[in-house]
Structure 1
Amino acid sequence: MADAATDERMRDMIRVVLRVHRFTPRAERERARSSSPFARTAPSPFGAPTRRRAPRGKRWTQDYALTVPPTTTLLDCLLSVKRRSDPTLAFRYACGHGMCGSDAATVNGAPTLLCTTTVGQAAGQATGQTIGQTSRSAATAPGSASAADHGGTDHGGTDDEGFRRTGSADHPHQQREPRPDTSPSPQGLAQDAGNQSPAIVEIGPLAGFAVQRDLIVDIDPMIEQITRLKPYLQADGRLATTHDGKVDMIEYLQRPEQLAKYELLSDCIACGLCEASCPVFSGGDAFIGPAALIAASRFINDSRDHAGDARLDAIDTADGIAACQSVKACSRPCPRGINVGEEMWQLTTRVGERSERRRDNDE
């Protein structure tokens, strides 16, 4: 009975290779001394904003072979690798439930959250078929990505540490209660996963962001852009009073239909998935980015906010909503279900109509 139970449990496991794109920054060299006439001691006289310089360092891909249930999340897999075989692997995470957006990464070419993407789902993207239960959270809908089938070479072999380095990038499989796949399959598994090449799941850092180490990227520019648009309520400060002038309540009341205009927008967790999927932002063009514009739209649509015109002025710039090309690729990966592309279009329409009204008034 025990052997039968073990065989049944192992039949539910899948073999997968996580192919992680890694990066180790090079130590910064000491710059020229300030006494040198060639040392740069002042900003550019042209006053142009300078882009953050991408750090230099060593880049490579590394394979980690695992055998896990298909419902295992990619975050669980990486945590297992870090704890059991390779403590040098670096990635960012916090809540583990898709609520904070800390573990955003690129999986099989598509931006998604590691904590809500399962091995079965990622392996299905790589092989073109669904493997096991594909979603751990119904609230999450990571973007899909096309990936070429693996050529059939067996990547399951590993060294004593449970991983090995590689210089190429393909696509196959992934899993849960991760453990390095260094031992032969138990009896009864040979027919199942043992005779198949493992699926390769490629994991890399978010596109459009400077890589700091492995899967960790610098999100400071995105946060600075959001902060630039003042993402907080700016009400008029007047409170409801009674007929004799006393404060009646200390709340700003809203009707349900007013709340509905921005309620979903307030769920944005600034994960950066929309920015990574945006061809304008990730392509390096001057663009404030959809995350910041969503933050602005949340308050532009709030009936309690009295800074609507100032907010529209702030985004009506060359690197603001005008830089959006309405590709709507930003809508697909949003883990909170926000239709980012549609919201960008609404902002574009609103800014355009306001400009037309101003021209008519000037005439």
Structure 2
Amino acid sequence: MSGGLENDMTTVTLRVHRFTPRAERERDRARAGSPFARKSSPFGGDSARRRPRGKQWVQEYTIAARPEDTVLDCLLTIKRTVDPTLAFRYSCGHGMCGSDAVAINGAPTLLCTATVADWAKPEASATDEEGFRRTGGVDDADDTDAPSGDVPDGSLGVIELAALPGFPVQRDLIADIDPMLEQIRKLKPYLQADGVLATTDEGKVDVFEYLQHPDQLARYELLSNCIACGVCEGSCPVFAGGEAFIGPAALITASRFINDSRDTQAAERMDAIDTADGIAACQSVRACTRECPRGIDVGEEIWQLIAQVKER
């Protein structure tokens, strides 16, 4: 994909919400450790998500693009040919690692799976023909006399990009997801079996000790596909609102092992999430389900988990 603008090429405009952090001063570091600061949740909480200070601005880039290009393709073109200072994160580029989660047009999703055709929108005109501000979007202008969006010939439209909501911004489109990963770690995201090796009649280790039936595997198999991208947490109004809620990603991790027939700590895992900051904080909005790149119905899984915890 070329970064130059040609007359016979289609273009797209990326409107990027940028951020450069301010260097932390000694006084700020001392204040962060004040004994009068509000205590944080055992799952992370307020201090872990302290909003960094710095310069914020919106910058637009118009580049040549095709409808089938991904938003990640566009950012790489900008990085390589237009502005090397633009910061964003990615790894595999195929929707498997989850490292490139951002907000596209306000919706958390992955850069590498979002195409220009799906996300580019015509920009609505700010004023009508008489100079008054418009209150409706471009879709509301159905009659021929109504002004259309300000999209130049050959332009695919505008895509607005911001860092993943609900997390501190480190720089430009890079969010600090360490609070989410720490919450997941606190729930011990690994199999906890009884540790006793079964043996055969000949005294050898029984390698079939942990075989499962297909129906046992089906109870947690989809949940094991979670890539901890943070899209569900960025979509959650409780988590993004700055509360101490453990978050949907951690609850999905807990459910994955609670439903694993080989794990022997299901009761302890349920105790860990049966708190005011755990499942009790979930409001069942189910916004966490909308953009999951792995196809997990996060809201439904959490609802089933809540039922399991309450019925034990």
Please state which band the TM-score falls in when normalised by the shorter chain.
0.7 to 0.9
The answer for the alignment partner of 1:317 in structure 2 is: 275
Question: Counterpart in 1 of 2:119?
Answer: 122
Q: In 2 relative to 1, CA 198–337 (structure 1 residues): closer, same or farther, beyond 3 Å?
A: closer
Q: Which residue of 1 aligns with 2:296?
A: 338
Deviates more, 1:100-109 or 1:247-256: 247-256
The answer to whether the aligner puts 1:277 opposite 2:274 as a matched pair is no
Q: Which has the larger radius of gyration?
A: 1
Secondary structure of the corresponding residue to residue 89 of structure 1: coil
Residue 69 of structure 1 aligns with which residue? 66
Paired residue total: 280
1:224-274 CA-partner distances (Å, limit 9, x unpaired): 000000000001123332234432326511011100110010010000000
Partner of 2:201: 243
Alignment gaps of 5+ in structure 2: 1-5, 41-45, 128-136, 139-150
2:187 to 229, 238, 242: 229
Deviation at 1:48, TM superposition (A): 1.4
Q: Are 2:29 and 1:23 equivalent residues in the alignment?
A: no
Say if 1:194 and 1:212 are closer, same or farther in 2 by CA, change over 3 A: closer
Give, in angstroms, the shift of residue 347 of structure 1: 1.0
- Bigger shift: residues 63-72 or 197-206: 197-206
Matched, 1:78 2:78: no
User: Structure 1: how far apart are the matches of 2:205 and 2:153?
Assistant: 75
Distance 1:201 1:42 in 2: 40
Whether the aligned pair in 2 keeps the contact of 1:150 and 1:200 (CA below 8 Å) is no
Q: For 1:117, give the aligned amino acid.
A: A
Q: Which of these residues, 83, 91, 96, is aligned with residue 94 of structure 1?
A: 91
Deviation of residue 45 (structure 1)? 5.8
1:195 Cα deviation after fit: 2.8
- Residue 10 of structure 2 aligns with which residue? 14
What is the alpha-carbon distance in structure 2 between the residues aligned to residue 347 and residue 32 of structure 1?
41
AA matched with 1:83: R
Deviations 1:70-96 (A, max 9, x none): 110100100110110100000000000
* Per-residue Cα deviation, 1:27-72 (whole angstroms, up to 9, x for no partner): 1223289xxxxx6596526871252321111101000001211110
Q: Which amino acid aligns with 1:57?
A: G
d(CA) in 2 for partners of 1:289, 1:338: 15
- Quickly say closer, same or farther: Cα 1:72–1:90, change in 2 above 3 A: same
Question: Does the CA-based 8 Å contact 1:152-1:197 persist in structure 2?
Answer: no
Change (3 A) 1:252 1:270: same
Q: Which runs of 5+ in 1 are unaligned?
A: 1-8, 34-38, 128-148, 154-170, 173-192, 355-363
User: Which of residues 140, 150, 168 is equivalent to 2:124?
Assistant: 150
Q: Please tell me the root mean square deviation across aligned C-alpha atoms, in Å.
A: 2.5
**Are the structure 2 counterparts of residues 302 and 200 from structure 1 closer, same or farther at C-alpha, using a change threshold of 3 Å?**
same
**Residues of 1 paired with 2:36 and 2:165: CA distance?**
31
CA gap 1:10/1:97 in 2 versus in 1, 3 angstroms: farther
The equivalent of 1:138 in structure 2 is none
How much identity, in percent, do the aligned residues show?
Answer: 65
Amino acid at match of 1:95: C
Please give the TM-score of this superposition, normalised by the length of structure 1: 0.72
- The amino acid of 1:67's aligned partner reads A
Provide the C-alpha distance between the structure 1 equivalents of 2:79 and 2:37, rounded to a whole number of angstroms. Answer: 46
1:231 and 1:32 map into 2 onto residues whose CA distance is 34
